[in-house]
Structure formats: C-alpha cells, structure tokens
Copies of this chain bind each other. A is one copy, B any other.
Amino acid sequence: MRKSKQETAETRERIVATAATEFRRQGIVATGLSELMGAAGLTHGGFYRHFDSKEQLVTEAGAAALASTTETLSGAATGKLRREALRAIVAKYLSTAHRDHPQAGCAFAAIGSEMARADKKTRAVATDSFAKLVEMLAACFEDVTPTEAKKQALVAASTMIGALLMSRVVNDAELSKSILRNAENAIRDM
C-alpha cells in the first residue's frame, strides 16, 4: 500500500487543507484527529506518517489558513491603488459572506482565542501573518508617513478582526450587520 512520493505529498497537503477548514469551522480542541482524517478520506492511523503530533498540524493548518486569507485579500486589491485598494480589502473582509463562512476565512476571527493559547511555533506563524496583513493595509495609506501608515494599519486590522468576530458572536441579525457596516465605514474614513 505504499504510495508514490507525489501521492504522499498530495495526501499531506490534503490533510493540512482539511485541518485548516475543520479547525476554523469547529475550533481546534473540538476537532478530533479521527474525524479530521476521515474528512480527508483517510483512516486515522496514518496520521503519524505525516506529522509528529496534533500540535504540528495546528501550526501548519494555521499557517495555511492565514496565508490563504492574506492571498484572497491581496487578490481583491490587485489593479487598485491606495484608498481604492483599502476599500476593496475591507469590503471583502467585512462582508456577510466572510462572516457566514468562518471555515474559509480569517483564522484570527475564527480561532483567535485558541491561537492565543497555542504553542510557540503556531504563535510565531500567527505573528508573521498578522504583520503581513498590517503591511498590506499600511501600503494603502500613502497620504501619511510610513510610520503613521503602519499605526493606522494596526488599528484598521484590530477593528476588522474584532468586528468580524463580534458579528459572529451576536445573535441579532441587525446588530451583526451594523457592526460590519460601521467598522467598514470607519476604516474607509481613516
């Protein structure tokens, strides 16, 4: 039953991608490895051919999830400049579509509180991704100094993540939309 090198690499990628989805959908602790491997079309016994531990998968899945979000946002801004790019990024991030599909969205909003308790490597990955998101936003503020742009970008990122998280927590459709829309407007006017 040994698989070719290419198949092995594909399987590994599939496990990471499945984990990135399932962790964001259900939470890290609440997602079991058996369930995860089943969702990836495998039995659980093979897991340790690819990873040393669940923790290692958490690190890699976190990195994959965050990279995908950064890429999506960056894609929404391609061909656009400065403020227009900012608007596109923020509109995408604070959309109801993003709110309603945590399994495919920003890991900070979906599993942020679990990431704050994760091991060193996972937090290092999260720190890098956050820095990239801030850089992307800072590039949109050209009318101010780079230092000021970075400050504004830090605030914008915090607002976006907090707003998306709370739009999912609250049980009131109107309030939820209002959180998203007002955060979007505020960043637009920064």
Contact = CB atoms under 8 A, between A and B. Distances in A.
Interface of A: 26-27, 29-30, 102, 108-117, 120, 123-124, 126-127, 130-131, 151-152, 154-155, 157-163, 165-166, 168-172, 175, 178-179, 182-183, 185-186
B169 A183 contact: no
Nearest to A155: B186
A103 to B, nearest CB: 11
A54 to B, nearest CB: 13
B116 A175 contact: no
A131 B29 contact: no
A161 to B, nearest CB: 4
A112 B114 contact: no
- Report whether over half of chain A's contact residues are helix, strand or loop; otherwise say mixed: helix
Nearest to A99: B116
A108 B158 contact: no
6 contacts: A27-B113, A29-B29, A112-B166, A123-B170, A155-B182, A161-B166
A116 B172 contact: no
Contacts of A170: 123, 126-127, 130
Nearest to A172: B127
Given A27-B29, A117-B27, A166 B159 contact: no
A127 B173 CA distance: 11
Given A126-B170, A158-B163, 5 more contacts: A112-B166, A124-B171, A152-B186, A158-B162, A158-B166
